[in-house]
Amino acid sequence: RSFETLSGEDPFLGASLAAPFVEEVQKNGIIATIKHWLDNNQEIGRMTMDVEIGDRAQHEIYMPPFKAAIEAGAGAVMCAYNKVYGTYACENHKLLKELLRGDAGFRGMIMSDWGATHDAKNSVVAGLDVEMPGNGGKFEQLPQLVGSGEIEEAAIDKMAGHVLSTMYHTGHFDGRYPAEVPSSVQRTDVTSDD
């Protein structure tokens, strides 16, 4: 997947390039979204592969570019399609809460890739804040899951807090991001070929 990266698999180069990129993007009021968290290193089989990586390799090879982007203030992280340690990345407690929120210190919003949410409850419990379109809209089940007590309302509040604090951090509430959407993209489906 090196065609989507700044540096391929070089952790030092990636970390060196990520921070200034994030800073430049976000000073214009655009939320820098770093992706794909984590271990999404090949295109073929990315929807079904299961990656097993030791903690040392995670911290020394795969996490440094992300950590540098987080330290530079990146507002969002997009989780990947693949499984890691047997669980999809967007519903993986170890990836989202332990490594990303805990070890890397990320405080912004975590979003899925398009169609990468497989289970609403497991994703929320693991720390996913925003589901991007695709895969049947799993987060449409959240009102029922809260109503049945399977997910606490406090979890939804925390998710909303991550989104709103990211928007605040990047200037969406103080005019740094233009309020009007350009007419070239208004009401235009830019996410599919349909």
- Checking if the pLDDT of 101 tops 80, the result is yes
- What pLDDT shows up at residue 178? 63
Q: pTM for the complete prediction? A: 0.86
List 10, 39, 103, 113, catalytic entry: 113
Q: Is 129 a catalytic residue?
A: no
Question: Is 118 or 134 the better-scoring residue by pLDDT?
Answer: 118
Cα separation values, 49 from 52, 87, 149, 188, Å: 10, 10, 33, 33
pLDDT tens per residue, range 48-83: 788 899 999 999 999 999 999 999 999 999 999 999
Distance of CA 70 to the CA centre of its chain: 12
Alpha carbons 20 and 22: distance in angstroms, whole number: 5
pLDDT at residue number 183: 57
Comparing 151 with 188, the larger pLDDT belongs to 151
Is residue 119 classed exposed, middle or buried when 0-12, 13-18 and 19+ CB atoms within 10 A define those classes? middle
Give per-residue pLDDT as tens, 20-53: 999 999 988 899 999 989 888 777 777 778 889 9
pLDDT tops 80 at residue 7: no
